[in-house]
Each structure stands twice: as C-alpha cells, then as structure tokens.
C-alpha cells in the first residue's frame, strides 16, 4: 500500500472489518446466552450491552465504512482520474473513526443500552448518539466527494456515458443522503435534546416514524456494493460480458426511487398510523421487487454468456461450466441462493396481514441475517478479496483458504437462520436475553435454539478466517494493479441524459417522499399527541 | 446478439415481473379484505402521564369485560416490566378486542403462535380484534426492548372453552397464574 489514495481505501475497509470481527464475537456469545447452554458473563445487562454493540457495529459501522472505502476505490478506478478532495476524504474518515470510538466506549460502559434503533423515550448518554452522528457526518463528506468526482468527470468527458460502476455508486450516495435525513432529524430534534437534559419528554410515535424513514432505505444502501459487484465485476471475472448496461442503469435508478417511500412497512403493527398510509407504502414496497428481479435476469443472462463462451451447454447445464473456483463467482452463487430464500421470507414480512404472525419475532432476525449478513456481506468479502491484490500489489498465495472461508460463512448462515425462522413462527420474540426452557410451553424451542447457536459459531469461524486471510494471504506473486470492470455486450459510449445523471430522479424522489411521508409526519403536529416522559438509562436506577 | 434482441428480451422479462408483482398484490389485498385482518391502526391518543389516574385504563377497569352483545374487550397496560393484569382470560371462538397502552416506554404485545400482535407506543392506545380458537394457556412475551428487565416481561392469555366461560354479574372475568 504505497500511495495515499490506496491507503484511504484500505483504511476504510479495515475499520469496517475490524468492527465486523468484534461484532461477530458478540453475536456468537449472544447466541449462547439465548440457548439452553450456559454462557460466561451471562446477565441481562451484559446481553443488551452486547446487542447494542453488535447491532450498531454491524448495521452502522461495517456497511458505512465499507461503502465509503469501496466508493472511493470505484471513483478512482472506474473514472480513471485522481480523487478530488482527497484531504476531505481523509477528514471524513477521521471524523467517522472518532465517532466509532466514542459510540463503542459509551456502549461498552453501559451508558447507552438502548439498542441500535434508539427507540426513545429510552435515552442513553449523549456520547452514543453523537458518535453515531459523527459517522453519518463522515459519510456525508463521502457523498460530496462522490458527486464532485462524477461532475468533474462529466465536464472532462462531455456527453460520454458515466461508467456504470460509478453511476451506481453515485446513486447510492444520493440514496444515502435521503436516507439519513430521517434518523438525522430524529437525533437532532428529539433524541439529542433529551439526552442533554434540555427536554424531559419525547413524542415516541413521531420518533418511530422518523426512524422508519431511514430503516428501509438503509437496507438498500447496505446492499448496493453487492449489486455493483454483480453488474460490473462478476461478469468479467466469470469470463463474459454484462448483458445490458441500460438495464443496469434502470435498476439502480429504481432502487433510488423505491427504497425510500416504503419505510412505513416497519410500522404495520404500530398504533400511531392509520391503515391508509400503511397500505399505500405496502403497495410501493411491492415495487422494490422489480429492480431485484431485473437484476437476477440481467446477471443470469450475463453469466450464461460467460458459461457458453467456456463451452457450457443445455438449457440450465451451462451453470456447471462457470468458473466456480474463482472466489467472486463462488460468493455470487452463494449470495444468489441466500437471496432466493431470503426474498421468499421477505414477501411474508411485506404483506400487510401475514406480517402480524412474525412481527418482532426471531423470524425477523433470521431474515436479515440471511439477506444482509448472508447475501450482502459475502459479497463484501468477495469485493475485498478481489481488490486486495490491486491495493497491496500482491496476489493471494493460495485461493483455498478463501474458498473455505466462503463455504464456512454460507453454511454458518444457513444453519443459523433456518432454525431461527422456525422459532419465529413458534412466536419466539427477538431481543430477549434468556428463555425459561423449563417452562413446558416453550421447552421445545430449546433444541432449535441450540442448532442455531452452532451455526453462529460456524459463522464466527468464517469471520475469523476472513480477517486472517486479508491480513496474511496477500504475499504471493506481484499482482497487476489495474482494476478493470465488466464490459457490456453493447458497451455504450453515450446514453440518454436521464440515464446519465440524477437531476430528474432526485425530483421524483422528493415527490414520492412528500406523497408517502408528509401526512404521516405532519399528523403529529395536528393530533392531540402526548409526549412520553424521557427515561434515562445512564443515570441512576 | 444485436442490441434490439437484448432490449426485447429484457422488456419481455419486465412484463413477466410486472405481472407477477401485480398478481402478488392482488392476492395480498384480497386475503386482507376477505379475512378482515386489520393491524392496529386506530390512531387514538392518550396521555401516558395520567392514564392510571382517570379514564379507561385505571386499575379497576383493567382486565376482561364481556359486553352486552357477547363480544369481549380486554384492557391492559404494558409497563416496565409486566403486563397488568398478568393473566387474561378470553372465550374460545368469539371476537375479542384487545386495547393496550403504556405509561412509560415502548413495549410489544404478541400472543405466541397467533396473529395477535401490536406495538405498544406510549401516547397511543393500540386496539386489535381477533378470535382465539385454541383453548389453553398462550404465552404473551413483550416483544420490544423496553429496558434491562425486558426478558422477564411475560404474561399469559388463557383461552377458556365456552362451557367454562362464567363471567361475574358485571361481565368481568379474571384468572390466576399457576406459579
Ligand atoms: C458471527 C456471526 C453472527 C452471529 C452469531 C450473530 C448473532 C446475532 C444475535 C444472537 C443477535 C441478537 C438477536 C436478538 O436478541 O434478538 C443478533 C442481532 C443482530 N445482528 Fe447478528 N450475528 C452475526 C452476524 C451479523 C452480521 C454479519 C450482521 C450484519 C451485517 C448482523 C446484524 C445484526 C443486527 C442488525 C442485529 C439486531 C440487533 C438488535 O436487535 O438490536 N449480525 N445477531
Ligand atoms: Cu424495510
Ligand atoms: Cu419489553
């Protein structure tokens, strides 16, 4: 890692994965606490401290830092120009890093045991929220750098099509800016004043509504690096071409449009909203499946091209001809399988009525470990493995530890999340530290919980091997440092303006958000609402 | 492969996807209407600071009440770290309305293995109506984190067969937990 821009990328990715490794240890321990097996240090307090830490590290730190690092890398390699504002980018990194340390120390000292979703009127130490806010501020700098980089490139290349990898990265940056507005408003106007002692009550319904604004879109922010890899790296590694560049652009635009005005599907079971807006947002939620299904088709077709070039035959027989020994291809295969299972579960979550069977049960935890921890994070691994030789200048000494690691993660996720889904259907609540398995009504949950805990430890082994691989494996032959992205079958030199920028789409997002959220938020100022007394978890009993 | 063919194949797929999504929505809407499933959406506010002093949720009013028309209303409070009352009797196979609110923080209400499920948000009364068909005790854990005692916040919903359903003169019914 000789040059500073490469160090910038590596620094982000290391912080992301160190946070991930720490959180993985916490996760495995939590699995034990929930199971009939005794765990060391098992108390309600340690459990919820751990869940707060695990949730915040996995949901906020890992993806945000990974997306930032990968985004900087794409901006340099896809646009083939130096990163504008390198100093700003480093400033963003340090701001985020300070925030992470602040939040983690506060959580571990038991001053902010409020879980990563905050849910006031529970209120912890102000340093936890400030820490999270600093991470967000750091990521806003990233957003600015991404947009600047694209504009600069467009000026230098008038009329040319922005490379798909960068187009998608900027789509994600804009999505993120919109996404953070909800939780940002909640923190600034409600939670921080309460945690500073300036206010002594808080409107819990409004807080949940603002948080829901963020809660779905953030999932797509997490997901985007995986999709960027599917469209712009995977087809090339598999030995083929991207089926359609245009469909890629359309999908990323649809993600931007439809991942935002749907957050109220997290509030289906909430009493502070009427059925009208719940129904509207459920309809919009159904539309989010469109870009995902488009992606599956386009990537499937791209892989078929690769496989047939390698001599693959038959209607589906070509699948066997893909180079499964290459980590990126193997990881993408696992990712698709998990996305398939997870997508099916997601349809249940999404439907207005079926949701009441599983809302806030272990089903939900199982679902997002499968999709986010599984499909998405395995692609984070694959991306890191792919760009590490280019950052370090060295190839991996062997691919075997990488393959073993991907298998461990996949098997671990499956063994963890399948029993977890079933426990959810039995009605096992999430976010509960211990169960009285002596109670005959729930005794039969015990064995399922144990199996799931075993899966958790397989995942932990996968997490440890991953960090080990990154740290020690890249000492092989000198590597070619140039990063090249997949070409489309028809690589466009120019594309229509609407598919080359975000002006129009930003306006449309604004319109959709007004339709979806204006009244649900405004109602709290018209209704006779009663705020709830702030309850501090960090001072006194 | 020429570009036109690629675009055509993509468009065909878009059509299939659109049809599938539409079908899915129709199924969801139809089943929702047919089963009259309505997640709690009553948007009814209440002052969490005073609800124990006056009105519907004072202690004397909590618990199970049979109404004149034979339907049943259950009123309860979710508070750190217990449901009040801790045992809720309901008749088998009759419509039951559950009304629940919180004087402190956010809680969750679920009857394990059924579709009775709602968030309990301070400042709002959550109401849901359903029927219970399986006699016996059903666990009722709080399903949203509400503080360090959250894991111990469990109650029981007892589904009582019609022949054992004998409310008192005021239509009230209570039950005891076997320790
Ligand atoms: C070694 C791997 C992992 C294990 C064993 C594990 C285990 C767990 C457990 C036991 C819980 C608490 C469940 C509850 O109390 O309801 C949990 C929560 C959670 N996990 Fe993981 N997990 C792992 C990896 C991941 C990954 C990779 C992600 C995402 C990138 C993730 C994200 C989360 C989130 C967001 C929560 C929710 C916290 C909350 O409810 O407040 N986990 N995990
Ligand atoms: Cu969502
Ligand atoms: Cu609780």
How far away is chain A from the Cα of B175, in angstroms, using its nearest Cα? 18
Contact in structure between A67 and A86 (CB atoms under 8 Å): no
Asked if the C-beta of A277 comes within 8 angstroms of chain B's C-beta atoms, the answer is no
pLDDT, one tens digit per residue, over A275-302 is: 888 888 888 888 888 888 889 999 999 9
The pLDDT tens digits of the residues spanning A34-69 come to: 999 988 888 999 999 999 999 999 999 999 999 999
Q: How far is B70 from chain A (nearest CA, A)?
A: 25
Tell me the chain A residues in contact with residue B113 when contact means C-beta distances shorter than 8 Å: 426-427
CB contact under 8 A, B21 and A268: no
Q: pLDDT over 90 for what percent of chain B?
A: 58
Furthest CA-CA distance within chain A: 71
| Greatest distance between any 2 Cα atoms in chain B | 82
Q: Is the model's pLDDT at B11 over the cut of 90?
A: no
Q: Is the pLDDT of residue B113 over 80?
A: no
For the record, the structure tokens of A58 come out as: 């996995």
Report the atom number in ligand 1 closest to the C-alpha of A34: 10
Is the model's pLDDT at A1 over the cut of 60?
no
Over residues A161-170, mean pLDDT: 97
Local confidence band at B52 (pLDDT 50, 70, 90 cut-offs): confident
Q: Pick the most confident of B35-39, B50-54, B99-103.
A: B99-103
Q: What is the mean pLDDT of residues A306-318?
A: 91
Which residue carries 């790296």 as its tokens? A233
Residue A26 pLDDT: 97
Residue B27 pLDDT more than 90? no
**Is residue A369 flagged as an active site residue?**
yes
Task: Please state, as a whole number, how many other Cβ atoms lie within 10 Å of the Cβ of residue A2.
Answer: 9
pLDDT at A2: 43
* pLDDT 10s digits, A379-410: 999 999 999 999 999 999 999 999 999 999 99
Domains annotated on chain A, with CATH: 4-536 (1.20.210.10)
Taking residues B153-177, report their average pLDDT. 92
The token duo for A192 is: 């921080």
Per-residue model confidence (pLDDT) at position A19: 98
In three-state form (DSSP H/G/I as H, E/B as E, the rest C), the secondary structure along A185-229 is HHHHHHHHHHHCCCCCEECHHHHHHHHHHHHHHHHHHHHHHHHHH
CB-based contact B116 A434, cutoff 8 Å:
no
Average pLDDT, chain B: 89
> What pLDDT digit, counting tens, does each position of B115-126 carry?
888 999 999 999
- Which candidate from B45, B108, B141 shows the least CB-CB separation from A527? B45
Query: Given pLDDT bands bounded at 50, 70 and 90, which one contains residue B38?
Result: low
Per-residue pLDDT at B179: 63
- The mean per-residue pLDDT over the stretch A113-124 comes to 94
- pLDDT over threshold 80, residue B1: no
The backbone region for A239, taken as left when phi is positive above 0, alpha when psi lies in -120 to 50, beta otherwise, is left
Burial class (CB in 10 A: 0-12, 13-18, 19+), A437: middle
pLDDT score, position B37: 59
Range of weakest confidence among A23-32, A467-476, A479-488, B15-24 = B15-24
pLDDT of A541 > 50? The answer is no
If contacts are CB pairs under 8 Å, which of residues 53-92 in chain B contact chain A? Answer: none
Average pLDDT score, chain A = 93
Average pLDDT over residues A405-427: 95
* Complex ipTM value: 0.92
Quick count: other Cβ atoms within 10 Å of Cβ B32?
Answer: 19
Q: Is A531 on the interface with B (CB under 8 A)?
A: yes
pLDDT tens digits, one per residue of A490-499? 888 889 999 9
* pLDDT attached to residue B35: 63
Say whether pLDDT at A32 is over 60: yes
Cα A53 to ligand 1 centre (Å): 10
For residue A379, the cross-strand partners are: none
């Amino acid at each position: 890692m000789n040059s500073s821009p490469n160090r910038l990328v590596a620094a982000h990715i290391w912080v992301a994965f160190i946070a991930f490794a720490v959180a993985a240890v916490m996760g495995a321990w939590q699995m034990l606490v929930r199971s009939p097996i005794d765990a060391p240090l098992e108390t309600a307090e340690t459990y919820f401290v751990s869940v707060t830490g695990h949730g915040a590290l996995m949901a906020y730190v890992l993806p945000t830092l990974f997306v930032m690092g990968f985004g900087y890398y794409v901006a340099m390699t896809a646009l083939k120009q130096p990163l504008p504002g390198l100093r700003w980018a480093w400033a963003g990194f340090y701001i985020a890093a300070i925030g992470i340390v602040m939040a983690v120390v506060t959580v571990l000292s038991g001053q902010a045991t409020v879980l990563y979703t905050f849910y006031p009127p529970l209120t912890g130490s102000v340093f936890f929220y400030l820490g999270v806010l600093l991470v967000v501020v750091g990521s806003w700098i990233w957003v600015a750098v991404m947009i600047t980089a694209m504009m600069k490139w467009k000026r230098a290349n008038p009329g040319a099509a922005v490379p798909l990898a960068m187009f998608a990265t900027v789509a994600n940056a804009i999505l993120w800016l919109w996404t953070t507005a909800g939780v940002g408003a909640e923190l600034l106007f409600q939670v921080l004043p309460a945690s500073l002692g300036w206010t002594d009550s808080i409107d819990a319904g409004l807080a949940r509504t603002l948080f829901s604004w963020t809660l779905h879109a953030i999932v797509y922010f997490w997901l985007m690096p995986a999709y960027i890899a599917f469209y712009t790296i995977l087809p090339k590694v598999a030995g083929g071409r991207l089926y359609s560049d245009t469909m890629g652009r359309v999908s990323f635009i649809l993600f931007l449009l439809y991942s935002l005005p749907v957050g109220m599907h997290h509030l289906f079971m909430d009493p502070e909203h009427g059925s009208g807006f719940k129904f509207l947002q459920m309809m919009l939620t159904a539309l989010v499946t469109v870009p995902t299904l488009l992606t599956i088709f386009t990537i499937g077709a791209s892989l078929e091209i690769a496989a047939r070039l390698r001599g693959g035959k038959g209607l589906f027989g070509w699948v066997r001809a893909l180079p499964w020994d290459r980590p990126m291809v193997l990881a993408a295969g696992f990712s698709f399988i998990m996305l398939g299972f997870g997508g099916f579960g997601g349809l249940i979550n999404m439907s207005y009525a079926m949701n009441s069977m599983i809302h806030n049960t272990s089903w939900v935890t199982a679902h997002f470990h499968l999709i986010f921890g599984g499909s998405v994070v395995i692609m984070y691994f694959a991306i890191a493995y792919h760009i590490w030789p280019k950052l370090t200048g060295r190839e991996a000494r062997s691919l075997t530890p990488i393959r073993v690691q991907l298998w461990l993660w996949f098997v671990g996720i499956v063994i963890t999340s399948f029993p977890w889904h079933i426990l959810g259907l039995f009605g096992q609540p999430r976010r509960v530290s211990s169960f009285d398995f002596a109670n005959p009504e729930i005794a039969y949950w015990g064995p399922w919980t144990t199996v799931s805990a075993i899966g958790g430890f397989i995942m932990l082994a996968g997490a440890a091997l991953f960090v080990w691989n990154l740290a020690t494996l890249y000492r092989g032959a000198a590597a070619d440092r140039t990063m090249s992205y997949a070409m489309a079958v028809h690589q466009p030199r120019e594309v229509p303006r609407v598919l080359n920028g975000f002006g129009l789409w930003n306006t449309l997002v604004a319109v959709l958000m007004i339709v979806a959220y204006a009244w649900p938020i405004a109602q709290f100022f018209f209704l006779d609402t009663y705020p709830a007394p702030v309850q501090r978890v960090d001072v006194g009993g | 492969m020429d570009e036109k063919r690629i675009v055509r194949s993509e468009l065909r797929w878009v059509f299939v996807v659109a049809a599938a999504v539409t079908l899915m929505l129709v199924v969801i809407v139809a089943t929702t209407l047919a089963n009259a499933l309505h997640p709690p959406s009553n948007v009814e506010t209440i002052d969490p600071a005073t609800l124990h002093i006056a009105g519907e949720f004072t202690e004397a009013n909590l618990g199970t009440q049979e109404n004149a028309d034979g339907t049943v209303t259950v009123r309860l409070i979710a508070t750190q770290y217990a449901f009040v009352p801790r045992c809720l009797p309901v008749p088998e196979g009759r419509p039951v309305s559950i009304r629940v609110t919180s004087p402190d923080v956010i809680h969750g209400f679920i009857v394990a293995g059924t579709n009775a499920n709602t968030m309990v948000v301070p400042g709002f009364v959550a109401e849901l109506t359903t029927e219970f068909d399986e006699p016996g005790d059903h666990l009722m854990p709080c399903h949203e984190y509400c503080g360090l005692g959250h894991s111990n916040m469990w109650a029981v919903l007892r589904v009582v067969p019609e022949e054992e359903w004998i409310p008192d003169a005021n239509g009230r019914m209570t039950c005891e937990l076997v320790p």
